[in-house]
Amino acid sequence: MKEEYDAIADLIMRARKVVIFTGAGISTESGIPDFRSPTGIWSKFNPADFTFDKYLVNPEVRRMTWWRYREMKVWEIEPNAAHYALVDLEGMGKLDCIITQNIDGLHQKAGNSEDKVIELHGTVRHVTCLECEKRWPFEEILRWFEKGIEDPHCDECGGLLKAATISFGQAMPAKETMEAEERARNSDLFIVIGSSLVVYPAAYMPVFALESGVPLVIINREATPMDHRATVVVNAGAGDTMSAVMERVK
């Protein structure tokens, strides 16, 4: 593994605009299960039961969705070594941005600047009204649950509430998606951390970087469909790998 750590460190030292692309795998060491690992969320639930259309019409789907988000307890969860390594990267002036598929807000909690993090799939840090777009911090809606409200609706317009995440079947956020594509194409190093690279359109981001001749690094416990196109692949934990790499860069 030492050779791969050296190679990634070398690429970072020569880069000025590093784009990091993160998936659920960067947060498993903080205690949040991913989707597709053998113990991941989809080993317990069927993704087809959690589409946006079903959320709109089925109170039981909403109840289960709120339950899953409440079980994540993101407000109690702490970032891990991999998140903190990215804070160091920003401190060194090397980080162009983090494009994340994660909804847990752990990059910002670790200390990366809000304007360096592009959330492609939204966030559970907020809840939004699907009618009037009023927003609340998730913790505030938690208090509604504690009062016994199981299917919360907007206190102003009566619209349906939903965590500010992008569910299956919901449109991707246009501004974030366009900005992510532009930054991927204009980067000089693109590093994937903890993503199976099978969820599209998010998984186009490394492809955009490759199309511009940008070297690709993949750090993921399991093989991904893009490994053969990467300059360096590390099949190991994100925390140990990023700590070892940043030790060399410092």
Catalytically annotated residues: 121
Q: Which residue is nearest to ligand NAD (CB)?
A: 25
What is the SS3 assignment for 137? strand
> What are the phi and psi torsion angles at 199 (to 5°)?
-95, 115
- Helix or strand run (H / E) with residue 142: helix 138-146
Contact between 226 and ligand NAD by CB under 6 A: the answer reads: no
Q: Which stretch binds ligand NAD (CB under 6 A): 46-54, 85-93, 96-104, 135-143?
A: 96-104
Task: Report yes or no: 85 and 94 within 8 Å, Cβ to Cβ.
Answer: no
Least Å from the CB of residue 165 to ligand NAD: 7
Angle at 209 between CA 190 and CA 52, to 5 degrees: 90
Task: Please give the residues from 50 up to 79 whose contact with ligand NAD meets the rule CB under 6 A.
Answer: none
Task: Report yes or no: 34 and 23 within 8 Å, Cβ to Cβ.
Answer: yes
Rounded to whole angstroms, the Cα distance separating 150 from 229 reads 47
How, if at all, do strands 18-22 and 135-137 pair? Answer: unpaired
Q: Which one of residues 37, 170, 186, 243 is an interface residue with ligand NAD (CB under 6 A)? A: 37
Minimum CB distance to ligand NAD smaller for 40 or for 159: 40
Contact between 109 and ligand NAD by CB under 6 A: the answer reads: no
Angle at 94 between CA 92 and CA 96, to 5 degrees: 135
Contact between 220 and ligand NAD by CB under 6 A: the answer reads: yes
Least Å from the CB of residue 148 to ligand NAD: 28
Contact between 108 and ligand NAD by CB under 6 A: the answer reads: no
Minimum CB distance to ligand NAD smaller for 25 or for 215: 25
Minimum CB distance to ligand NAD smaller for 65 or for 196: 196
Minimum CB distance to ligand NAD smaller for 123 or for 187: 123
Residue 134: burial class (beta carbons within 10 Å; 0-12, 13-18, 19+): middle
Contact between 41 and ligand NAD by CB under 6 A: the answer reads: yes
> What are the phi and psi torsion angles at 68 (to 5°)?
-60, -45
Contact between 233 and ligand NAD by CB under 6 A: the answer reads: no
Interacting residue ranges for ligand NAD, rule: CB under 6 A = 23-25, 27-29, 32, 34-37, 40-41, 101-104, 121, 194-196, 199, 220-222, 237-238
